[in-house]
Amino acid sequence: MNRIYIILLFLFFVSSVNLFAQKDKDTPRNGEGIHSFLKRNKRNADDHYDLFRQLNKGKFGKKNSLLKGVSYTLPSLSDKKKTIDNSSTNTQSGKTRTYKLFGKDYEKYTVKSNKLKGACFYLSSGHGGPDPGAVGKIDGYEVHEDEYAYDITLRLARALMEEGATVHMIIQDAVDGIRDDRYLANSNRETCMGEAIPLNQVKRLRQRSNKINSLARRSKEKYKRAIFIHVDSRSQNKQLDVFFYHAKNSTAGKKLATRMRQTFSEHYDKHQPTRGFTGTVTPRSLYMLDNTSPVGIYAELGNIQNSFDQRRFLDPNNRQALANWMCRGFIKDYESWKKGN
C-alpha cells in the first residue's frame, strides 16, 4: 500500500512540474514580434528580451522575427536581465570610489560633497556605435561628434558623482575612458549599456529611451533628470555658443535649460567678460525629449565645422570646463527644486 502511495505521489509531482513548465511556453500570434509577445505574457521587454533570445537560440527568423507555430520558452518572471549599469549610488562625502568607465587615469574619484545627494541623472552622449554623428576635419584629422560628446559626458558624470549624485551612463565604451588627447581616436565600440547600438535612427533612439525609462521606474530618487549631449554641424563660418533644447510642454525642462544657460553666461562673464554669451533656450519636439519619463534637455556644444567652436571641445581643459559648468547648472536646478521653485 505504501509503495502504491509513493508511486502516485511521484506521478503527481511529475505532472505538476510539467504543468508549470507548460506555463513557461507559448506560441506567437500572427504579426507578433518579441516585444509584443513578451508583453502579452506579462514579461517586461527591457528585463527579459536578451534572456528570451538566449532561451530560444536558433528558433528565430530574419532580424529575430518569431516563427509561426513554434513554441517558445518564456523567461521566468523572477529572472531579470543583467544590465551593465555601473551607476554610482554611494553618496557618502569623503569616500573614494572607483568607476571603471572613467578609464585607468580617472577611475578613482572622491565624493566631495552631498550637494546632489538624492538626485538621479541619466546621461546620454549623442550617436555612437555604427553612427559617428557629425564629422569634421581639423589639421588633417577626422573628428567625430560621438567621441567628443562621450568624453564630455564622462567628465560630467564624474563631476556629478563627486557631488554625491546617482548617475547612469546610457552610452558606454568599455575601452575609452576620459581622454586628455586633443584628437580623439574614432571607434564604433560604443554600446547602449552593453547592447549593440542599431544603425537605424528610430531603433537607436527607442533603445535609449527604453533604457532610461526602465532605469527611472526602478530609481527611488524623486529628482530625476536626463541630458543628451551633442555637437552640431553647420557651415564653417557659423560660430555657435552652447545652446539648449527642452520639451515643448515641460515647465521643469524649461527651468533646467534656462538655469543651464544662466550658469554658462555667468562663467563667460567671469572668464571672458568682453565676449558675451549668446547661447539660447528653445522648445523642440525631439524623440528623446518626448519619449523619456525623466525631465530632460539637449545640450548642443557648438559647430564641429567652425574653427572657433572647435577650440571648445578639442582642448581637454575646455571639455572639462563644459562638464563642470553643466554640473553647476544641475546643482542650481536641484537646489531650486528642493525649495519648490
In CATH, what number is assigned to the domain containing residue 112?
3.40.630.40
C-alpha cell at 205: 533612439
- Same domain? For 243 and 299 the reply is yes
In a domain, 85, yes or no: no
In a domain, 135, yes or no: yes
Residue after which a domain boundary falls, among 73, 106, 132: 73
- What pLDDT is recorded for position 18? 42
- Same domain? For 44 and 136 the reply is no
Q: Residue 88 forms beta bridges with which residues?
A: 167
Query: Does the predicted TM-score (pTM) go above 0.95?
Result: no
User: Which residues form the domain of 45?
Assistant: 2-73
- Same domain? For 68 and 145 the reply is no
- Same domain? For 51 and 170 the reply is no
In a domain, 89, yes or no: no
- What pLDDT is recorded for position 235? 78
- Same domain? For 258 and 304 the reply is yes
C-alpha cell at 79: 529572472
- Same domain? For 130 and 57 the reply is no
Cβ within 8 Å of residue 187, ≥6 positions away: 147, 173, 175, 176
pLDDT tens column, 266-324: 999 888 888 889 999 999 999 999 999 999 999 999 999 999 999 999 999 999 999 99
Cβ within 8 Å of residue 76, ≥6 positions away: 24
Give the separation between CA 336 and CA 255, rounded to whole angstroms. Answer: 10
C-alpha cell at 130: 555604427
In a domain, 117, yes or no: yes
pLDDT tens column, 109-118: 999 999 999 9
Supply φ then ψ for residue 284, to 5 degrees: -145, 145
- What pLDDT is recorded for position 84? 55
Give the separation between CA 36 and CA 300, rounded to whole angstroms. Answer: 35
- Same domain? For 68 and 213 the reply is no
Q: How many helices (H) and strands (E) does the chain have?
A: 9, 15
38-42, 109-113, 237-241: least confident range: 38-42
Q: Is the pLDDT of residue 205 over 50?
A: yes
The domain total for the chain is 2
- Same domain? For 263 and 143 the reply is yes
- Same domain? For 7 and 151 the reply is no
- Same domain? For 293 and 149 the reply is yes
Q: In 10 A of CB 66, how many CB atoms?
A: 19
- What pLDDT is recorded for position 91? 59
pLDDT tens column, 149-168: 999 999 999 999 999 999 99
In a domain, 241, yes or no: yes
Do the strands 135-138 and 141-144 form a parallel or antiparallel pair, or are they unpaired? Answer: antiparallel
pLDDT tens column, 118-151: 999 999 999 999 999 999 999 999 999 999 999 9
- Same domain? For 7 and 144 the reply is no
Give the separation between CA 279 and CA 261, rounded to whole angstroms. Answer: 7
- How far is Cα of residue 103 from the mean position of the Cα atoms in its chain? 18
Q: In 10 A of CB 99, how many CB atoms?
A: 20
In a domain, 307, yes or no: yes
